């Protein structure tokens, strides 16, 4: 019995070091994984292009919203990543040293202190550099957007844990920069770029050429939703129409391409090229459905710079714009995209009516669908003039509804600062024309 008890005790003592070694290995692997995610996230977040950041802001995915929020505070994000990585690296060094000392024979570390120290340095350096730095950063460089989305929630947790330390570091850095008088780099706004264009080429180029320069400047940040033709303005063919009715409608609207829908615009069956009707123009009973082509769909948050490349690659001129729920928001054409650079393109079917009318220096009449940015440009005001009250609206009609809080009637007015908006025309539930009046401040009026 005594020998059996002694054997059982010796087995427990022998298993204890093995169990500790297994736990240490697991701890080191987990810490290496955490270090790899942090290193990859650092590379991913700070290599995102403006296009990638805009993509994150337009997506409704939970991780995309978190990533966009993290990028709103870049200094705090960088400080959190550095602090967390240092703490984890220290934990890896300590754990690795304990593991190596446990594996080596008793007394060997004391007898061969230098060799033991070198082994620990080599092992720790290899693990940290290869698995904690090189591999994750190489992956993040090639897949920065994917890595940013993958690590978003993990980084947010770390930011909450290390926020006191990170905030202190950021505050200290700002204090040192201020004390040393270092000039902090400031991002140049689009308005400042436009002003620089006016100064540099405004005196040698024509007004049309200056506008082209400005269009190129803004081109990379414009989405399909900002330039599309809204569904209220879309001319489309009902799938159930006869060929005679289709011919008459096409002649009436005069468009070369139109979407075809079943029941409603949210159910697009395809698109039609009116030129395909020419061989069958004299056939009253022709089955025109055989000419329907597949429609090309794009999300309303898609950048027109990317859409232009897709149009060129696929040799297309027309796309259906859909919202986040899959409903039809409108249509966008190659002409709509090109007009953002070279200005309005007029053909024989376009009407000559302008989208706005300048009555005098303080009174303007706009169509309700005119974009708020265009309104600001045409009345000579900064593009962020109405940012505090515009909400999610993009058009002047939407701005009126945001300010008034209810649907408008003809001749109804609302005010914001020195700006007064008066509804001139309403078609059913749609504001068609709005008068914008700029009142001078009281001090200037008295003078």
pLDDT tens digits along 243-272: 888 888 888 888 888 999 998 888 899 999
Numbers of helices and strands, H then E, in the chain:
17, 12
pLDDT of the residue at 48 = 84
pLDDT grade, residue 10 (50/70/90)?
very low
pLDDT tens digits along 81-101: 888 888 888 888 888 878 777
Provide the token pair at 311.
Answer: 């149009």
Of residues 377, 64, 46, the one with CA closest to residue 218: 377
pLDDT grade, residue 127 (50/70/90)?
confident
pLDDT of the residue at 188 = 55
Kindly tell me if the per-residue pLDDT of 339 is higher than 50.
yes
pLDDT of the residue at 199 = 63
The overall average pLDDT reported for the chain is 78
pLDDT tens digits along 295-317: 899 988 888 888 888 888 888 88
Q: What is the mean pLDDT of residues 233-242?
A: 88
Q: What is the mean pLDDT of residues 413-440?
A: 86
pLDDT grade, residue 106 (50/70/90)?
low
Report d(CA 58, CA 432) in Å as an integer.
Answer: 28
Instruction: Break the chain into its structural domains and give their ranges.
Output: 2-180, 186-219, 222-342, 356-446
CATH 3.40.630.10 fits 222-342, yes or no: no
pLDDT of the residue at 212 = 63
Q: What is the mean pLDDT of residues 139-158?
A: 88
Sign (positive or negative) of CA dihedral 110, 112, 118, 119: negative
Look up the CATH architecture of domain 356-446: 2-Layer Sandwich (3.30)
Better pLDDT: 121 or 158 = 158
3-state helix, strand and coil shares in percent for the chain, rounded to the nearest 5: 60, 15, 25
Q: How far is CA 411 from the centre of its chain?
A: 38
DSSP assigned state of 256: S
Spatial contact of 219 and 300, defined as CB atoms under 8 Å apart: no
pLDDT of the residue at 259 = 92
pLDDT of the residue at 353 = 46
Kindly tell me if the per-residue pLDDT of 11 is higher than 50.
no
pLDDT tens digits along 164-197: 888 888 887 777 766 665 454 455 565 666 666 6
Greatest CA separation for the chain:
113
Kindly write down the DSSP assignment for every residue of 89-151, as one continuous string. HHHHHHHHHHHHHHHSPTTHHHHTHHHHHHHHHHHHHHIIIIIIIIHHHHHHHHSHHHHHHHH
Q: What is the mean pLDDT of residues 140-162?
A: 88
Of residues 194, 148, 159, the one with CA closest to residue 76: 159
pLDDT of the residue at 260 = 92
Spatial contact of 253 and 219, defined as CB atoms under 8 Å apart: no
Lowest mean pLDDT among 147-151, 172-176, 283-287, 288-292: 172-176
DSSP assigned state of 205: S
pLDDT above 70 coverage of the chain, percent: 78
Query: Which alpha helices (H) appear in 257-351, and where do they start and end?
Result: 304-314, 334-342
Better pLDDT: 339 or 68 = 68
pLDDT tens digits along 218-233: 666 778 888 888 888 7
Q: What is the mean pLDDT of residues 370-389?
A: 80
Q: Is 105 exposed, middle or buried (0-12, 13-18, 19+ CB in 10 A)?
A: exposed
């Amino acid at each position: 019995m005594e020998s059996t008890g002694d054997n059982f005790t010796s087995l427990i003592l022998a298993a204890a070091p093995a169990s500790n070694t297994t736990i240490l290995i697991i701890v080191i692997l987990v810490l290496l994984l955490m270090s790899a995610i942090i290193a990859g996230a650092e590379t991913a977040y700070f290599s995102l292009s403006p296009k990638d950041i805009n993509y994150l802001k337009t997506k409704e995915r939970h991780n995309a919203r978190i990533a966009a929020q993290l990028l709103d505070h870049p200094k705090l994000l960088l400080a959190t990543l550095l602090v967390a990585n240092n703490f984890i690296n220290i934990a890896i060094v300590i754990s690795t040293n304990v593991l190596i000392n446990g594996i080596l024979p008793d007394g060997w570390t004391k007898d061969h202190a230098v060799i033991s120290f070198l082994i620990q340095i080599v092992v720790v350096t290899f693990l940290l550099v290869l698995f904690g730095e090189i591999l994750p950063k190489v992956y993040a460089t090639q897949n920065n957007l994917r890595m940013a989305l993958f690590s978003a929630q993990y980084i947010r947790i770390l930011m909450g844990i290390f926020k006191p330390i990170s905030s202190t570091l950021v505050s200290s850095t700002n204090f040192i920069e201020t004390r040393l008088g270092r000039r902090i780099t400031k991002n140049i706004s689009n308005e400042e770029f436009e002003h620089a264009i006016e100064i540099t080429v405004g005196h040698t180029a024509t007004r049309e050429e200056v506008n082209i320069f400005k269009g190129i400047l803004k081109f990379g940040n414009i989405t399909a939703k900002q330039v599309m033709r809204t569904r209220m303005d879309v001319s489309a063919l009902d799938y159930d129409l006869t060929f005679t009715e289709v011919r008459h409608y096409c002649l009436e609207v005069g468009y070369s391409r139109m979407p075809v829908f079943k029941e409603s615009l949210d159910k697009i069956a395809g698109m039609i090229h009116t030129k395909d009707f020419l061989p069958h123009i004299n056939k009253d009973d022709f089955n025109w459905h055989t000419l329907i082509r597949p429609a090309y769909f794009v999300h309303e948050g898609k950048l027109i710079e990317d859409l232009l490349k897709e149009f060129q690659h696929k040799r297309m001129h027309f796309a259906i714009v859909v919202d986040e729920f899959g409903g039809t928001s409108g249509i966008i054409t190659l002409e709509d995209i090109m007009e953002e650079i070279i200005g309005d393109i007029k053909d024989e079917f376009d009407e000559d009516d302008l989208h706005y009318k300048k009555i005098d220096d303080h009174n303007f009449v706009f169509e309700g669908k005119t974009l708020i940015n265009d309104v600001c440009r045409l009345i000579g005001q900064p593009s962020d003039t109405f940012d505090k009250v515009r909400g999610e609206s993009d058009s002047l009609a939407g701005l009126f509804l945001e300010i008034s809080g209810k649907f408008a009637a003809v001749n109804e007015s609302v005010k914001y600062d020195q700006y007064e908006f008066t509804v001139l025309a309403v078609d059913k539930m749609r504001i068609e024309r709005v008068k914008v009046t700029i009142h001078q401040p009281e001090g200037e009026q008295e003078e």
